[in-house]
A = this chain, B = another copy of it.
Amino acid sequence: MPLKSIPVVRDVLEESNARAAENRALFQRYNVFVVNIMSSPGAGKTMLLEKTIPLLKERDHRCAVIEGDITSTLDADRLQPLGVPVVQANTEPFGGDCHLGSHLVQGALKHLHLEALDFLFIENIGNLVCPAEFDLGENRKVVLLSLPEGEDKPLKYPLMFRESQLCLITKMDIESSLGVSAEKFQNNICMVNGRMKVIRLSAKDGSGMGDWVEWLLGRG
């Protein structure tokens, strides 16, 4: 609609990419593997972290989380028992943004000791659209697609599936009670992004979690 907004949008994106590049340089300097975790609301991002971090800790890997939310500290509270650093990044003071920005990640990094970390997980806002557009400086983008969302989602929200390097099909434990087939999900993911690595898992019953941890240990 408003052509006159384009220069401003360009400024914002340039600013955003500059902050992302600064973040990336920091992550490289301290050799921290950083994963940007994205999905629709309720696909299981927080539970994935609740179950993943203990598996990494028992192998002596040091983890931290930047917990992105519009408002509230509900997810960060869930992660407290894990005993790893968790920094809350709320977008509400920035207008309730629907995605994490690289400047928010940069602000959160001031509260973390990168030299004491192997893995940093950034849990993005629950949104299958907007977060895909923004580089945070991460090493890998991972998208969760839960079975209850339906197999057509990669076709309807392709950018997220084009931008990510790994897709975790989650909530595999309820595949039969939903009467769906993960195979169809995987086929649609491949149609959108043939290079996408796909792992089917259930954080609830633990199936597939080993493959996901191996992927992390191999640094994607």
Q: Give A155 to B70 CA distance when docked, in angstroms.
A: 10
Is A135 close to B, CB under 8 A? no
Which residues of the partner chain B approach A128 to less than 8 Å between Cβ atoms?
40-41, 126-127
Q: Which of A147-190 contact B (CB under 8 A)?
A: 148-150, 152-153, 155-159, 171, 174, 177-178
Q: Which of A41-62 contact B (CB under 8 A)?
A: 41-42
Which residues of the partner chain B approach A149 to less than 8 Å between Cβ atoms?
40-42
Which residues of the partner chain B approach A177 to less than 8 Å between Cβ atoms?
174, 177
Which residues of the partner chain B approach A96 to less than 8 Å between Cβ atoms?
129, 159
How many Å from the CB of A203 to the closest CB on chain B?
13
Q: Give A189 to B152 CA distance when docked, in angstroms.
A: 28
How many Å from the CB of A108 to the closest CB on chain B?
16
Q: Give A41 to B125 CA distance when docked, in angstroms.
A: 14
How many Å from the CB of A153 to the closest CB on chain B?
5
Q: Which of A1-34 contact B (CB under 8 A)?
A: 1-2, 4-5, 8, 11-12, 15
